[in-house]
Each structure stands twice: as C-alpha cells, then as structure tokens.
C-alpha cells in the first residue's frame, strides 16, 4: 500500500486544518476475495451500483476497464484514526499486485506511476 497527494504529504497551499482527502492505493493478491470481504465489512464504501452488481462484477470491472484499479471514494475516516481531522475523507484504490507491477515496470497505463509522482 502507498499514499499520495496533499492528504499524505505536506504540500504548499494546504494545511492540516484544510483536511485534504487522503489518497491510498492498496495492492492485493486476489481482487475478488478482497472485494468480497471488504463489501461485507464496509458496504458503505461502495456505490449503490457496485453493491447491487456485487464483488464479482467489481473485480471484473477493476481488471477489465481502465488502469486496473477500483476506487472507493469519499470514505469518511473513522474518528478513532490518529491524526485524522473530524469528517476528513479518503479514497482508496484497489489493484492486484500483478497489475501494479505491470504498470510500474512496463508502464502499461502510467496511472500508478503517475500517482507515485504526486
């Protein structure tokens, strides 16, 4: 996993009081297994469309469309997380380790490499 952007690294023009969104990418071995478990534990992280479609469809869209990532956005960071501002949001992208390696080594889409430059 890695974080990027102004919610993770201090950047000029942003302060902690601004509570910028925290951006994360998480590498997983098995997208279907991960989404199945995560959708059970955190259904509110997924859009109504994704919940209705189910984890198999989400894993298929992740691997077949775009850059190989599935993002859950506008997730409120729980108040129990140290350092988070009240009501601060995060988004997290899920990618298989294989997809991350392909993009970082072969520049398949340059999406992940671009996130790491942020």
49: part of which helix (H) or strand (E)? helix 48-53
**Considering its fold, how many domains does the chain have in total?**
1
Angle between helices 55-64 and 31-41 (to 10 degrees): 130
Write the pLDDT tens digit of every residue in 47-100: 999 999 999 999 999 999 999 999 999 999 998 888 888 889 999 999 999 999
User: Is a pLDDT exceeding 90 seen at residue 8?
Assistant: no
Domain ranges, residue 45: 2-117
User: Is a pLDDT exceeding 70 seen at residue 15?
Assistant: no
Torsion of CA 81, 85, 89, 95, to 10 degrees: -40
3-class state of residue 27 by DSSP: strand
More confident residue, 9 or 102: 102
Q: What is the mean pLDDT of the chain?
A: 91
pLDDT of residue 34: 98
Q: How far apart are CA 57 and CA 107, in angstroms?
A: 26
- pLDDT, average across residues 102-111: 89
User: Cα dist. 103→32, 38, 54, 87 in Å?
Assistant: 20, 24, 26, 33
**Which of 3-12, 28-37, 70-79, 97-106 is predicted with the least confidence, judged by mean pLDDT?**
3-12
């Amino acid at each position: 996993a890695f974080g990027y952007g102004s919610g993770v690294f201090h950047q000029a023009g942003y302060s902690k009081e601004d509570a910028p969104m925290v951006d994360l990418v998480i590498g997983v071995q098995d997208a279907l297994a991960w989404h199945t478990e995560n959708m059970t534990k955190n259904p509110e992280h997924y859009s109504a469309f994704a919940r209705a479609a189910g984890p198999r469809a989400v894993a298929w869209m992740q691997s077949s469309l775009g850059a190989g990532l599935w993002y859950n956005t506008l997730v409120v960071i729980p108040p129990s997380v140290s350092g988070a501002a009240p009501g601060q949001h995060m988004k997290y992208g899920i990618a298989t380790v294989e997809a991350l390696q392909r993009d970082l080594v072969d520049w398949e889409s340059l999406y992940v490499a671009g996130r790491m430059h942020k």
